[in-house]
Structure 1
């Protein structure tokens, strides 16, 4: 995974991430590698029919048009057609279609299969995860996550569903010297992680069908790769609101997860405790499932209370 720089409990300023675990590292003064999504830029820049003479960098204009498309969608309730977008931002429909297809591939917009209209997608949350850490869901959950990390002595994560996978949006690192680390915005496969399974179990039928139809990639010997087996697992998760991963995604890590419900009772968030397998006995598994279930219910209540308070403040 490379080297990360984060603050760790006792003031250690530098660590390395090995297979998803934080470990103290003696010297990480070398600059972090920079990455860019060149494929996104290339795809967004191709075929922009609005580009004309004198426009020196079509990729810059394509990026601006993509932002205009996102703003246009965000101002529409709840969906908008490609033709309407093209008319509002002054681009050819074919250019908008290409940009929308690229944004859809990056999971920041989605198309309604019945109407072909476009709406924003949860993948935007992965991009905005650092901001979300200081807002909304995280405000309602952070104190309880810290308490859970202390109770369990393990790292606690909060994730949301993006239609295919779970996306980590917040994290409280556990107190142990060796602990799990998942940066906000990290994707977790639906079929072999605790957060993915608990969110998939409560996802729409269309999302579940799409995951079950796609190849279930094997990551370890314990990964579920048979759709029928996964369906049975998801049925159990729906009954209990709890999911389990014992070295299904990584040989070194296990996890338990519980569903968090919003003010409308919708199952939209996963609360996860991740633990190294050498600390994940059956007795500890039972205890962690109990802890994460209680904490998820508490956070559900806190989200509801914050939402109700916000509505009350907005009322005249």
Structure 2
């Protein structure tokens, strides 16, 4: 384990001598360990430089963890930080096949706030989190949803205003509320959740909407990283 922890994004390729110096063992001992790790596909050796990098065999070890990682647990510190930064309610939304569902929430500290019960479902295209999920569906699935919910024309108009991976609902569902959402991806790049910021409309002007978009996008990127994914550039 000490050998494997020597590798990092900043140091993806290492030689036996470098590893031996870092973990405090003789290079002959490290060389034997590297041979064992290579046999298990946990590291691979460059045939020219003879240095090592992490191997694809690690995916068989980490894949199960990444696939079953509790997104709610991972989201709590991200939502807490987001609410502290923006002063507004932040929520984690999951897709149940026909609606965006609130599964975790950190309410605003303001006396006047917008929040919802856990389990609240949103299924209209006016909802920002719904559009995040719709944008990542294949065309057939999206068309079927829009047909069921009679939202094709409205979706086209609203989606045109969704920018840089975020969607905004400026009073479309409730006149006195705004919502801003961004998508969360897993280690395979699949959309698995959305982060939603909800706020009273009276304290959010155009400049504030831009700030909430940026904050929501950054929070979604942070949660994506916590889940082993790579945020969209």
TM over 0.5: yes
Matches within 5 A, 1:79-98: none
Answering whether residue 178 of structure 2 is matched by residue 254 of structure 1, we say yes
Report the number of matched residues: 161
Specify the alignment match of 1:183 in structure 2.
117
How many Å apart are 1:179 and its aligned residue? 1.0
SS at match of 2:172: strand
Matches within 5 A, 1:116-127: none
Gaps of 5+ in 1: 1-134, 217-224, 306-316
Matches within 5 A, 1:1-316: 136-216=70-150, 227-231=152-156, 233-234=158-159, 237=162, 240-304=164-228
Instruction: Quickly say closer, same or farther: Cα 1:235–1:208, change in 2 above 3 A.
Output: farther
With a CA cutoff of 8 Å and minimum separation of 6, indicate the structure with the bigger relative contact order: 2
Structure 2 distance, partners of 1:204, 1:236, is 20
How many Å apart are 1:250 and its aligned residue? 0.9
Structure 2 distance, partners of 1:149, 1:228, is 33
Instruction: Quickly say closer, same or farther: Cα 1:193–1:143, change in 2 above 3 A.
Output: same
Provide TM-score, normalisation by structure 1.
0.48
Structure 1 distance, partners of 2:154, 2:118, is 30
Answer with 1 or 2: which has the greater Rg: 2
User: Could you say what the CA RMSD is over the residues aligned between the two structures, in angstroms?
Assistant: 1.9
Is the Cα contact below 8 Å between 2:179 and 2:197 reproduced in 1?
yes
Task: Single out whichever of 184-193 and 197-206 deviates more from structure 2.
Answer: 197-206
How many Å apart are 1:175 and its aligned residue? 0.8
How many Å apart are 1:241 and its aligned residue? 1.4
How many Å apart are 1:228 and its aligned residue? 3.5
